[in-house]
Chain A
Amino acid sequence: MASPERVQFDGLRKQASILLETKRYTEAVSYAKRALELFPDDPRLYVLIAYAMARVKNKEAPDWARKAIAEEPNNPLWYGALADTFRFLGNWKETLEPMSKAVAMSPENWQFQSLLGLCLLNGKKFDKALHHLKRALELNPRDPRTYQRLGLVLIRTRHRDEGEQYLRKALELAPDDADIQASFGWQMLLTGKRNEANEAFREALRLNPQMVLPKIGLGDPEGERRGLKDRLFRVSIRLATIPPRVALFVFHFILLELMVVYLLLAYVNNYVQLLQLSPLVIVVASWCFFFLIQPFIVKAVGNRRGAHFI
């Protein structure tokens, strides 16, 4: 028969996990710490605390995951948990080492393979990401998130059509996944399929109204509509996602260079005829500049609002 301490410990641990699942992170930490006072060598509780802390962006979270590793260094789950804490804190660079260790210790675990793929994707190591995501798919061909991640890698490596197919497959497997809807929406937006994109964004927001990426995709403001600033942002979104944007970007860049050279020549040599044209040149140059900075504006506004662009 279990000792009263063990019964109490189990109760506290279960309560802590329920509180974690129900997003009562502070309480979950408190219950887990109480359980740890009874049996301080249970790595599951260290990890539980790590997850709860990471969810509230507490920078101590990785330290708690490390305590679990110290208790049980041969368990790959704890390395995965350490990587997860970094992931929740937005430190993608730090995720690579522990997640690679987890994969090395348990190469047949499709979740580890897929998550390592995600970490590599965020670290812009697309070739390696592709390798691990394909392996994850071999191990579990029904995981929608792996399809989504693979789709994003392929899109970033200029295999747009293939990438889109993977995103569609992910959507087919998990139509209620707001994250996948948002990824799909952005892909549609960047390929000029605005209606399909908007539909995906709205669906993502219906599923999770607080998601930032689809709101940005729709050009919606953060809170209630605030006027000119938001209208300008909508224009920025349109210009930054216009389908032939690479060609247009090059064209505008060259045009801007020419205009700048033109203006410099006119002023340095004081060519009166050229100077008469300068207002028009300034307008054209301003437009080019405005066009060229749009992707940066979208990225800056997105980052300010908490979006994470890969």
Chain B
Amino acid sequence: MPISSKTLDLLRRLVAERPDDLKVRLHLAELLIEDNLTGEATEVLEQALALKPDDPAALRLSASLCYRLHMFEKARDSLEKASRDGPADPKSDLLLSRVYLELGKYRLAEQLYRQAVKGDSSLEDSVYSDSIRSRETGRVAVKLGGRDTGLDFESEGPSITFSDVGGMEEVKEYLRMNIIFPLKNPDLFKQYGKRVGGGIMMFGPPGCGKTYLSRALAGECKATFYHVGIHEILDMYLGSSEKNVHKLFETARRTAPAIVFLDEIDALGQKRSSGGDSWGRALRGTVATLLAEMDQLGTPEKPILVIGATNTPWAVDLALRRPGRFDRVVFVPPPDLAAREEILKLHLHGKPTDDLDVPRIARKIEKFSGADIRALVDRAVEDVIKRAMRSGKTELIRTQDLLDAADKMHPSTVEWLATAYDYVRYSNEGGIYDQVKNYLDKNR
């Protein structure tokens, strides 16, 4: 039902009279959202959050608005922040479930849906529940000992290749020579008694495309890709973590050639000096199983490649980097110029844009990660929406909007690179950080 303009005007006046009254602001924002006045609602919510940045109600409302505007990452961040600081709320869980579904995190979406329904049974929605399941196609569910633990490893067939990854030529070349060529020519390597497959550790600043590159690598090798997060390995019932690892490799062997992508490998193979005894006890078995599985990684005809990705290679135990384990190291740097152009185009796709000078914007955002570029586009879009609200017509995203947004942002990779610089300088044992050194020398 449309909200009467009188009510809205009244609330607007009330907000002007009582600028510090958060409740009135939130009420106004709620009605504006209901009335589809999203631009003004954004402004009112921004002001509300400026008054009280951690207010769970404001964060939840902001999340629902972001969800409507298809800004799913922002919606997720707001909801996660709200659930951290505020009491449990089944409706928020349901919204977060929908957000995760849009972000392709089906398992989390399902978990949150269940949690929401448990908290408030009136939220049960069989259509939505079915839609989660239907979007999980390609998933391989692993049952342990006859019971479904809720643990599953998402697998997918070859979908993207290196041609879908813009720029990053050096990394691609390294992967071609060291991974793809041996996998495609197993006989040659067999003659020399060399093992095909094995493990590589991929590291670099967060949000720079380690997962995407690995998917593309799987596409190049025409291999099945298994993406496994640390939380899937660290099963809630800890005793079964080892079983999970074993099942994962068994499934991978069945579908070989396969690439097993272990995200956040540092958590699994944390340096013993930095972890305590409890870590040692809790994870020793899991790490041992992982290492044992890596010692029998398929045959030359049906190889399995294990990629361990980490943002903190310095936290990974040396035992995991021994020959035969994650002995090859690949640095995935922040996207280069060509990659930044591609990422920009990807995020701007389908949005109303002017004739953009993409190379100019890409030059301006040096050292921006893929995630930073996404945030940059989000920020520029928000400004354009505000302009559209003021003018009352559709406004196009201009080069200047993106350049202005870039001025207000700092690349998130800088901090990572500063840390990496310390490791290059003081602790580059065995040349593990040589690739980082080369990158820093070139991009000083």
CB-based contact A18/B418 at 8 Å: no
CA distance A26 to B234 in the complex (A): 17
Q: Which residues of B from 110 to 138 have beta carbons under 8 Å from A?
A: none
B270 adjacent to A21 (CB under 8 Å): yes
Given contacts A22-B266, A205-B427, contact A12 B236 (CB under 8 A): yes
The distance from the CB of B150 to the nearest CB of chain A, in whole angstroms, is 12
CA–CA, A205 to B424, complex, Å? 11
Q: Are A18 and B426 in contact (CB under 8 A)?
A: no
User: In the complex, which residues of chain A have a beta carbon less than 8 angstroms from the beta carbon of B270?
Assistant: 21-23
In this assembly, does B7 line the interface, its C-beta being within 8 Å of a C-beta of chain A?
A: no
* A14 interfacial contact with B, CB 8 Å: yes
Cβ of A132 to closest chain B Cβ, rounded Å: 24
- In the complex, the answer to whether B423 meets A18 with C-beta atoms within 8 Å is no
Measured between beta carbons, the chain A residues less than 8 angstroms from B359 are none
The answer on a CB contact under 8 Å between B279 and A22 is: yes
B292 close to A (CB within 8 Å): no
A14 vs B285: C-alpha distance when bound (angstroms): 15
List residues of A (16-43) whose CB comes within 8 Å of B's CBs: 17-19, 21-24, 26, 29-30, 37
Say whether B141 faces chain A, with CB atoms less than 8 Å apart.
no
The answer on a CB contact under 8 Å between B278 and A209 is: no
Asked, given contacts A23-B315, A24-B267, whether A17 binds B418 with beta carbons under 8 Å apart, the answer is no
Which residues of chain A (210-236) have a CB below 8 Å from chain B? 210, 223-224
A306 contacts the other chain (CB 8 A) = no
B422 touches A18 (CB 8 A): no
List A contacts of B442 (CB < 8 A): none
Contact across chains for A209 and B423 when beta carbons are under 8 A apart: yes
B238 interface hit (Cβ, 8 Å): yes
State the main secondary structure of chain B at its contact with A. Answer: helix
Interface residues of A in 162-218 (CB under 8 A from B): 176, 202, 205-207, 209-210
Residues of B within 8 A of A224 (CB): 421, 440, 444
Establish whether residues A14 and B267, one from each chain, have CB atoms under 8 Å apart when the complex forms.
Answer: no
**Inter-chain contact B267/A8, CB cutoff 8 Å:** no
Say whether, besides A22-B267, A23-B274, A7 and B84 are in contact (CB < 8 Å).
Answer: no
Residues of B235-253 at the interface with A, using a CB-CB cut-off of 8 Å, are 236-238
**Bound: A51/B42 CA distance, A:** 37
Expressed in whole angstroms, the Cα–Cα distance for A205 and B238 within the complex equals: 35
Minimal Cβ-Cβ distance residue in B for A218:
B426
A11 at interface by CB-CB < 8 Å: yes
* Residues in chain B near residue A37, CB distance under 8 A: 88
CB <8 Å contact, B279 and A210: no
Q: Do the beta carbons of B84 and A18 come within 8 Å of each other?
A: no
- The A interface, classified by DSSP as helix, strand, loop or mixed, is helix
How far is B427's CA from A202's CA once the two chains are assembled, in angstroms?
9
> Pick the contact of A206 from B84, B266, B421, B427 — CB < 8 Å?
B427
Chain A interface size range: 20 to 34
Q: Indicate if the CB atoms of A21 and B422 lie closer than 8 Å.
A: no
Contact B278 A7 (CB under 8 A): no
A206 and B426 contact, CB distance less than 8 A: yes
The one of A12, A17, A210 that contacts B422, using a Cβ cutoff of 8 Å: A210
A278 at the interface (CB under 8 A from B): no
Q: Which residue of B lies closest to A176 (CB)?
A: B273
B104 close to A (CB within 8 Å): no
Q: A8, A17, A223: which contacts B236 (Cβ < 8 A)?
A: A8
Chain A nearest Cβ from B144, distance in angstroms? 14
* Chain B residues in 8 Å Cβ range of A29: 84
B344 to chain A, nearest CB (A): 28
Chain A residue nearest to B418 (CB atoms) is: A223
A209 B236 Cβ-Cβ under 8 A = no
B352 at the interface (CB under 8 A from A): no
CB atoms of B421 and A223 under 8 A apart: yes
Closest to A203 in B: B426
B162 to chain A, nearest CB (A): 32
Docked complex Cα distance between A205 and B421 (Å): 12
Candidate in B237, B423, B426, B444 with the most chain A CB atoms within 10 angstroms = B426
Q: With a CB–CB cut-off of 8 A, which chain A residues contact B279?
A: 18, 21-22
Determine the chain A residues whose CB is within 8 A of the CB of B266 once the complex forms: 22
Note all chain B residues with C-beta closer than 8 A to A109: none
Chain B interface residues (CB < 8 Å from chain A): 84, 88, 234, 236-238, 266-267, 270, 273-276, 278-279, 282-283, 314-315, 418-419, 421-423, 425-427, 429, 440, 444
Q: Write 9 A-B pairs (CB below 8 A) sorted by A numbering.
A: A8-B236, A11-B238, A22-B267, A22-B270, A29-B84, A30-B84, A205-B425, A205-B427, A209-B423
20 more A-B contacts (CB under 8 A) besides A202-B426, A209-B423? Answer: A11-B237, A11-B238, A14-B282, A15-B236, A17-B278, A18-B234, A18-B282, A21-B278, A22-B267, A22-B275, A23-B274, A30-B84, A176-B273, A205-B427, A209-B422, A209-B426, A210-B419, A224-B421, A224-B440, A224-B444
